Structure 1
């Protein structure tokens, strides 16, 4: 905790889901919380909940696909708080679809929100963290960036890139006393389906079923993330199925993808879910 003496955290996409759970988790420890979100109403609701826990809250309207919004956000926290201790790049959307059916516009949108926003945010905030003598960056990716399941190419690509970026920054920023963590959860109960896009209704139904069957909540994932940040862990793989995929793919990559291909050919996922 000495590293985070001023206890200031900024969470993008903090208005709901995992972002809100993270905001409240830090609030319970007495941290100042900046809630950045494109949905002002949800951001304000999160801020009210933070204040109820006895902590200080700030809201900021931010469309993470716009670099000028991220720059304005950085300027605001620097002016009001003198900087931040932890930056959480959480904002994102979900998409699926067969590769040949995903439109160019859908690719552009998910790359802008899931990947370019993280790149821009890191580029803008790293000088601030360096100038104040350190801090920590949390990039929320997904186990999809590790498993690379079929019919999820655009989502997989953005999350795999976020993992790669985080791995690079871990060693690059170490001399500057800036820690880096990348979060790779599997399915958990959240509102991610609100942003879900797919050219095939079947894919949406499959994703909804996976989310509903998960026994993990956003609060469970948030608590794991916070503990991992304080331990300065790079990889935050929050669930057992995610850990299994992580190790299996690295130990037996050819077998891993042969099993995925077999399951896709025989439609085992759909049969398992009764579709």
Structure 2
């Protein structure tokens, strides 16, 4: 997909963070952006916006109705909305796992269920699913988050295979930590893990705009796996090239977390 192909873009979680940065990036390139978010106040300044709770099939249906009625279809669906979380296996409860999967995976599945028929009819377009470095690299203390983001990676690959014959592509995005407000709503039982994650987010030199720019470029190149920053690429390479070294790093981090 080239920049000239990306005319009509629907983004979830566009009220703040990476979603807002992606909306800005695509608007600056002349695309029409349909910004959605669970909190309508977050996207109210956008020309095209709608309240969309990704766990609601009715909200997804309304979004699909909107793009068909107003645009005649959509070129790019960006499944960005999600929450952060995690915790050590003996600290985080099953309810925390369920919440992460309900929003970060099943919310995405609800969107795909609604929009895939539209993409098939169009026989064009692209779906972008925002996962995380945690979908490929699995540090201790983050079992639920690692698992749900790995599921997003698998779902994205499956989506690409299923839709290829219809001329529709799928990309998955795997950033490392960057400055965002994603940690504002984390309320897990493992407070030590939450503080570690918060420090990594706040200490990152990367901004949401940096990640958004890399995502737009990756989509334009038709990349199926978009790893938008050096830290993420280095971590994935370490796991692939030196599993023993990777295990040693992950286990040192886990041991440090256990001492906090």
TM-score (norm. length: structure 1) = 0.89
Distance 1:6 1:150 in 2: 39
Show the counterpart of 1:234.
Answer: 224
Distance 2:8 2:207 in 1: 24
1:93 to 83, 94, 106: 83
Show the counterpart of 1:34.
Answer: 34
Distance 2:213 2:23 in 1: 11
Distance 2:72 2:90 in 1: 48
Alignment deviations for residues 175-216 of structure 1 (CA, whole Å, 9 cap, x no partner): 111111100000001110112232132222211110111111
CA separation of 1:198/1:31 partners in 2, compared to 1, >3 Å: closer, same or farther?
same
Distance 1:200 1:216 in 2: 26
Shift in Å at residue 157 of structure 1? 0.9
Aligned 8 A contact 2:11 2:19 in 1: yes
1:123 to 113, 118, 126: 113
Show the counterpart of 1:81.
Answer: 71
Q: Secondary structure at the match of 2:50?
A: strand
1:59 to 4, 24, 49: 49
In the alignment, structure 1 residue 215 sits paired with structure 2 residue 205: yes
Q: Which runs of 5+ in 2 are unaligned?
A: none
Distance 1:126 1:157 in 2: 24
Shift in Å at residue 5 of structure 1? 4.3
TM-score (norm. length: structure 2) = 0.94
Show the counterpart of 1:179.
Answer: 169
**Total equivalences in the alignment:** 260
Distance 2:237 2:151 in 1: 19
Show the counterpart of 1:50.
Answer: none
Higher relative contact order (CA 8 A, sep 6+): 2
Distance 2:184 2:55 in 1: 18
1:10-25 matches, cutoff 5 A: 10-25=10-25
Shift in Å at residue 4 of structure 1? 5.5
Aligned 8 A contact 1:189 1:217 in 2: yes
Aligned 8 A contact 2:3 2:220 in 1: no
Shift in Å at residue 161 of structure 1? 0.4
Distance 1:162 1:198 in 2: 21
Shift in Å at residue 253 of structure 1? 3.1
